[in-house]
Amino acid sequence: MTHWQTYDAPPAMAGLYARAALRQRVSGQQLPDTGLRCVMVIDPVRLGAYRKVCGYDNTGLLPPTYPHVLAFVLQLALLTDPGFPFPLVGLVQLAERIRVLRPLGGVARASVSVYLGELQAHAEGAAFSLVTQLHDALGLLWEGETDLLCRKAQLQGQWAAPPAPAELPAGEVTRWLAGKDIGRQYAKVAGDYNPIHLSLPSARLFGFQQAIAPGMWSLARSLAALQHHIPDAGLQFNTQFLRPVPLPSEVVLNASAPGEDGHFSLTGRDASVYLAGEWAPL
């Protein structure tokens, strides 16, 4: 059972980053049963900057990936809580599932909640899910579930192999350059200052040959290019992050024909598949 802690105001981001920097080692093999809640107000200036960085048109609706930005401070608070056993730096995003239950229009404020799913063995460490929800006066409005991997942790048990990548569509929708500074641009609007996204020197400190694009930016940029291609609500997105997008690089978005369901993928010029996903009715 989740034990909820409610904030009257969002916690200070600076203190959370300080906690993240101090956590370097795995301290246990159990996830806390704490959930965090807070009523969050949507800043139209920040939202506009997010749309610009990710390529969304201003349709009057929140982008389907924006609730993650709204909830990021709570996600960070939960993942740096003293009861959370893994270091934040080094967590790998494996997959993202987003459910848009109703149109995200006219949302000026919402109750945001985050909690952790089940911890399970993985071939490369230990995996768990981070669940984020938005509620308005009518109930659940949006839900996201992020699968994360901690390579530093080891669990006993049978590893459940992930499903095969979604069907890869053949039709090119568009392509764009993921510039070397996109990690810094995204950090300014999303608050996600992960060093592996910011620059070549900071990425090399963590074993990367070059900086890599934030996974949620790559997904947001893909869905922005498809926003007039798919329904606004009553659907779910299921996405697997297969390999990081190196910065800088040109990427190609492929997708099925417009409709209620379909597939999409983001690939490199050398045919490397960075992410593969699908959309479908709820």
The pLDDT, as a whole number, for residue 207 is 82
> What one-letter code names the amino acid at 189?
V
Cβ(216)–Cβ(277) below 8 Å: no
Predicted TM-score (pTM) of the model is: 0.94
Cβ(121)–Cβ(159) below 8 Å: yes
Domain architecture of the chain: domains with CATH: 3-281 (3.10.129.10)
Which of 50-59, 61-70, 157-166 bottoms out in mean pLDDT, i.e. has the lowest? 157-166
> What one-letter code names the amino acid at 114?
V
Tell me the average pLDDT of the chain. 92
Q: Please spell the DSSP secondary structure of 117-144, one letter per residue.
A: ---EEETTEEEEEEEEEEEETTEEEEEE
Element (H, E) at 278: strand 273-281
The pLDDT, as a whole number, for residue 167 is 67
Assign 3-state DSSP to the chain and report helix, strand, coil percentages, each to 5.
25, 35, 45
Quick: pLDDT tens for 157-197.
Answer: 766 666 666 567 879 999 999 999 999 999 999 998 888 89
Which of 51-55, 87-91, 203-207, 264-268 bottoms out in mean pLDDT, i.e. has the lowest? 203-207
* Helix, coil or strand: residue 47: helix
Q: Does pLDDT of 215 surpass 70?
A: yes
**Could you tell me the two tokens for 266?**
């983001």
Hunting for tokens 């809640």 — which residue is that? 37
Q: Does pLDDT of 253 surpass 70?
A: yes
All residues at 6 or more sequence positions from 196 whose CB lies less than 8 Å from its CB, including other chains: 202, 203, 206, 208, 211, 212
Element (H, E) at 14: helix 13-22
Rounded CA separation 34/115 (Å): 7
Q: Does pLDDT of 74 surpass 90?
A: yes
- The CA distances from residue 188 to 182, 185, 205, 214, 222, in Å, are 10, 5, 21, 12, 20
Helices (H) and strands (E) in the chain, counts: 7, 12
**Could you tell me the two tokens for 7?**
């904030």
CB atoms within 10 A of CB 226: 19
Higher-pLDDT residue of 28 and 84 is 84
Confidence class for position 235, pLDDT limits 50, 70, 90: very high
Q: How many residues does the chain have?
A: 282
Q: Does pLDDT of 133 surpass 90?
A: yes
Cβ(146)–Cβ(130) below 8 Å: yes
